């Protein structure tokens, strides 16, 4: 069983995503919520950094938070999955532990 990492701050404003990417093991899952959803949008200055980890980790975005900021799942980096609140609960239930990167 793997760990779920939850990131809630924009990658452009805080270093929490970088820390999370460095500290998380292969096979773990990373979920972007709140202001962090902008980090998962394609064609940004940081999208290559996330693309480099797509083969070893699972990436998710909370779609309601993404929609609030004017983006849809179609704007995400390919390979990142949008989840609703029920999907959020499933991720918490399906992983052995959760770490929040505040």
Partner 1 sequence: MDGEGQTKKFMFVNRKVPYGTVYALESLEVVLISAAFDQDVSLAFVDDGVYQLKNGQSTDGIGMKNFSPTYKALGDYDINKLYVEKESLEERGLSLDDLMELTYEDEDDDWAEKTSIILVSREELAEVMDQQDVLISS
- Give the footprint of partner 1 on this chain (CB under 8 A): 8-10, 12-13, 34-36, 38, 41-45, 47, 63-65, 67-72, 84
Instruction: Report the distance separating Cα 64 and Cα 83, nearest Å.
Output: 8
Q: How far is the CB of 10 from partner 1 (least distance, A)?
A: 5
Pick the closest to residue 57 from 24, 98, 102 (CA basis): 24
Sheet with strand 3-7: strands edge to edge: 81-83, 58-62, 29-32, 3-7, 97-101
Our CB check for partner 1 shows the closer of 4 and 38 to be 38
Q: How far is the CB of 43 from partner 1 (least distance, A)?
A: 4
Q: How far is the CB of 19 from partner 1 (least distance, A)?
A: 18
């Amino acid at each position: 069983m793997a760990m779920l990492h939850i990131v809630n701050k924009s990658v452009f404003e805080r270093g929490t995503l970088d820390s999370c990417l460095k500290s998380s093991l292969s096979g773990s899952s990373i979920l972007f919520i709140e202001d962090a959803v902008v980090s998962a949008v394609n064609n940004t200055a940081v999208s290559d950094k996330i693309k480099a980890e797509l083969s070893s980790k699972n990436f998710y975005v909370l779609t309601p938070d993404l929609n609030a900021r004017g983006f849809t799942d179609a704007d995400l980096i390919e390979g990142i999955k949008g989840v609703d609140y029920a999907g959020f609960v499933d991720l918490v239930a399906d992983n052995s532990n959760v770490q929040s990167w505040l």
